[in-house]
Structure 1
Amino acid sequence: MKQHQTGPEQQVWRDPRAIALLMAATLTVMANATISPALAGLEKMFMNEPNAAFLTRLLVSAPSLTVVIFAPLAGLIADRYGRRALLLVGVCLFIVAGSSGLFLPSLKSMLISRLGLGVAVAMVMTAQTALIGDYFTGNQRGSLMGLQTSARNFGGFLFISLAGFLAVSSPRLPFAVYGLALLYLPFLWRYIVEPGAHKAKAKSTGQVQTDGHPAWAWMLAALAVLQMLTNMIFFLMPTQLPFFLEARGFDSASMTGAGLGVLMLSGGTAALMYGRLKARIGYSGAFALGYGFMALGLITLTVQETYAVFIGVAAMGAGYALAMPNFPAIALQIAPGIRRGMAGGVLTSSVFLGQFLSVFISIPLIAAIGFTGTFQVVSSVLAGMAIVALSSRIWIGKRSTTTASIGTQGR
């Protein structure tokens, strides 16, 4: 028992299913940003096509649209027909749709392939979340949620760096990065098995499901809204950081690349500590710490110094990495076992909806009050969210102490 409490990460690393799920997690971060280094080259390559500038930029955000639409449906498929097939088919579609930009003849055909890539990402993320809930419980599940976020950050750093290197030779070559998922397939095929409990429940009809929280659907909806808001705020970094740096007089290209690199590395490092932190301070404590770091990061960015940029993005990355694992961890805890696919689909959809809406909300706000004003306002919102989370932790702690005291007196 002591080993389970003190070393859940070590136990997770011994399980090949966990390694397979972490490999799948690295794929999801490829969806949007991997081809970013190639956008300028693609615009020049297809400059004679109508609306080339618009279509080129749409290539980055297009997968988000289909993820938002298809992820809940993927959740229903996972619950009805199983998780393993959904994951494997999603990875295969990811390889084909992602790497097809190597040879597609036009921006419009590339755009269609990117929409297909979004369907693949919805399938992979939804199945992966459900499988984590099926395979693991307790501290192991919490540790794996943190490791998942870490894998996405470190994977993103590696894949975007590789894409940038390949884009120097040809704007088509970054699409080859998606083909790396082909190396994952044998491992996933061998170690991802359909959970036996899910098979039994899926076959039974009219069975009363007793696990999960009675109000899980409402709680899941609240989690999805909060996760959407969190992603709307965090997506200020990749979408607005280049323009913010340019307005401040920095070399936007080099500083943005370095800043986003720091963002991912700090997030990946912080996520490695999530499992142990959550075991000590709980979900509300992790939310308070995460939103506190994000608030500190945004307010630090308003300081007119070069070092402040890197401190600010590092704090944003760390805070986001500490807050985000809470959402699937709580969802898997409250949702019935036969509804984990739906829970994963709803959360997947909310992530990408937040990313998609971020631009439409941040641009008018920046136009009205500027970058500094926007960062100050959003930082205040984050600080308020951190205070609410901290207050709930203190209230829960006092309530638990009082209950324990009453129980002791009763004995």
Structure 2
Amino acid sequence: MEITLSDKDANDWVYRGEGAANLVLAYIGSSPAFMGKVMRIRKAPRNDSLVETTPSPSSLTAHERLLWKDVDELISSSDHELASQLFVLHVMKPLLGSKFVDAGMHVKVSTGFLESVEKNVICQRPAWRVDTAQVDMHCDYVLIMSDHSLFARDNLASGPCISVEIKPKCGFRPVSRFVSEETAIKKRITRFEMHQALKLHQGEISLLSEYNPLDLFSGSIERIHKAIKDLFTTPQNNFRVFMNGSLIFGGLGGGAEDTNFCIAKAFEGALKSIIEAGDGLCTENFLTLVAEAAHKSGVLDRLLEVQKLDDVDIEGAIHAYYDITRQQCMVCTELNEDQTKIYAPLHSASLDESLRIVKDYLIAATVKDCSLMICFRPSKTGDSGSLSNNVYLESTKQTFDFKAYFIDLDMKRMSKMEEYYELDKKIVSCYREMIKMHQGRNEVRNLQKF
């Protein structure tokens, strides 16, 4: 018999956090079916007229069915929420590895359940999130999946567990010949660094992050350790830590403030129950533990391989998109004759090749925006790291079991391609303006010296 969650069930689910598209709730009730689980609920824009009149998307568009024609289960789905889960199951799981991906399951919910959840969590959500979105009252289903900030619930009694959530972002710079001369800076500066300039300009962050995704994906344990330390210093919405499923570091519903003395001290104290190190050394040992596990697990290599399916960059993929949709290429209309020649091979490609380019771009977009969860618990075996799922922390003589999972593997909509192209231009433009401003200031300082 299919379960349907009603308004009386809403109190068993508590706010865990949220992203741009979904709320995440954790289960605190007593039902064995939901213990150790989290729920994802789709959000909708907080615009009364839009929310009341716009139903949830029912299925894939005609162009998306063409794009995913090789995945029968996906294109036959009549509901977009179900299609998203099938995308994780049949597309992302084979690419990233079944042991690192949890596709979850869908559970039916009533409108009363959604309304009660909206009331229950509104006070815990960041104000700016509340202003822009609410629970989508048109949802028929929510996604239930294991809480990867925990080990299995029956193991909690054996000791504490600690987990880290990392948003690695894009781990390579494009080498595509379709990157124009005007945007060639993308081949030298990472997308993450350039996007930081735009976020600073828009007031989304207060300090540029030192984090470099190329360090995290380098394969070098020293550089991975540096990346983890940089994420800890400026976590923004890219680094969070949970103790037994409860947040102890980072922001719940979005960005976190930069790590100051008080935040660092509180975090150091929280780690003492799991890291056996002297005062002031727990945090450093924990960051080492995260780096060691990320390196040993091999998950970053898998992630980078899938990210690199984007082999033509958005500046190439946008032309394939226009060919699939049989629209006039709006990019080429803005180019001169010599520039359009660069993209002629894309426009003369077969339909199957155009579909491959856009499909691979969208898959890569998913994994450039996903999160990695790594969960640890002290091991009782005393093993020094001979197994693939544990790490030996030399400085504290502790062994930790760990598990790693990718989360937030949402299917990217084909209709977003033009938005992706415009955002790319905006990111590059803002970064170049920032560089010009810094150069101008430096020139003024040099003149003042004389």
With normalisation by structure 2, the TM-score equals 0.24
Higher helix share: 1
With normalisation by structure 1, the TM-score equals 0.26
Higher strand share: 2
The structure, 1 or 2, with the larger RCO (C-alpha pairs under 8 Å, 6+ apart) is: 1
Q: Specify the structure having the higher radius of gyration (Cα).
A: 2
